[in-house]
Structure 1
Amino acid sequence: MAGELPEYYFRVRENGAAVFRVDTENRQRRIEMDQIAMVNIRNGEIKPQGDRTLSDEDRATIDAWMQERLQVLARRDIDDIYRAVDYLNLTTQWVQSKATDEQLEAVTDGLLLAMHDLRSTLVRKKADRLLKG
């Protein structure tokens, strides 16, 4: 492997990560990963694994990872919304130019309800912002 491996590895899970300490300084010169903690991004909980106590360096590294991970997830959320706008535009084009009557019959009610729900929520949130400002 080229380069030096990081001291910690975070195996991402849906709500956080399993945290491992990476060790390459052993007699067999193999990569060993020792799980040291479980992290829950939603509530900020850090649970040491087994009977171990996390060092200040462990906690600082985990805290930094959690902050970075929250930023990544926030960027992904907004990116997903921009993609949704693109999908709505592509869907409009499909409806106008390619969709068959059978296809439209299959998707129209679901799309109309979802768009009505979205529009109602967007209008309500915009009104709330205007009243605050």
Structure 2
Amino acid sequence: MASDLPPYYFRTRENGAFVFRVEPEGRMRRIEMDQIAVVNIRNGEIKPHGDRSLSDTDMAAIRDWMAARQAELAARDLDDIRRTVDHLNQTAHWAQGKASDAELDQVTDALLMAMHDLRGVLVRRKADRVMRDREPG
């Protein structure tokens, strides 16, 4: 098992991770995890933990993880949006055929405001792209 362990462990959090160096043969043959850094993927900051110095190998592993994590989060965002489209379709079906008047009264205003806001953002962003694509140069 010890040979199957990665050299680093990243304990994810909302905006990054705590980075641990994994030492598979610690005291009494236990797996040791030594925190070496804190990472913020939003601003790209890598802070060594305590008075540690990070090696080039540490930095390369952390940067590789950051790139992979950012790609994973971007993919999740798109997947969430695709699920939202599906959910909007299900909501339309529910509103048309299954919802009672009382249920519609509970959600109609909130849905209309959210959809109005979303429509405005999408129309503006599409107009910006169209105008940018038409500009010469």
Smaller-chain TM-score bracket? over 0.9
Counterpart-to-counterpart distance in 2, 1:89 and 1:15: 32
Does the 8 A contact of 2:2 with 2:24 survive in 1? no
State the match for 2:29 in structure 1: 29
Counterpart-to-counterpart distance in 2, 1:50 and 1:128: 47
**Unmatched runs of 5 consecutive residues or more in structure 2:** none
**CA deviations over 1:68-113 (Å, ceiling 9, x no partner):** 0000010001111101100000000110111011100000000000
Counterpart-to-counterpart distance in 2, 1:119 and 1:111: 12
Counterpart-to-counterpart distance in 1, 2:2 and 2:100: 54
DSSP 3-state at the match of 2:17? strand
State the match for 2:107 in structure 1: 107
**CA deviations over 1:37-92 (Å, ceiling 9, x no partner):** 00000000000011110000000000000000000010001111101100000000
The 5 Å alignment of 1:47-86 reads: 47-86=47-86
Shift of 1:25: 1.9
TM-score, reference length from structure 1: 0.97
Distance 1:80 1:89, change over 3 A: same
TM-score, reference length from structure 2: 0.94
**Unmatched runs of 5 consecutive residues or more in structure 1:** none
Counterpart-to-counterpart distance in 2, 1:79 and 1:60: 29
What code does the residue aligned with 1:93 have?
A: H
Higher helix share: 2
Does the 8 A contact of 2:20 with 2:34 survive in 1? yes
4+ long deviations beyond 6 Å:
none
- What percentage of residue pairs aligned between the two structures are identical? 65
State the match for 2:122 in structure 1: 122
Size of the aligned set, in residue pairs, is 133
State the match for 2:96 in structure 1: 96
DSSP 3-state at the match of 2:119? helix
**CA deviations over 1:10-59 (Å, ceiling 9, x no partner):** 00000000000001123411011000000000000000011110000000
Q: What is the root-mean-square deviation in Å for CA atoms of aligned residues? A: 1.1
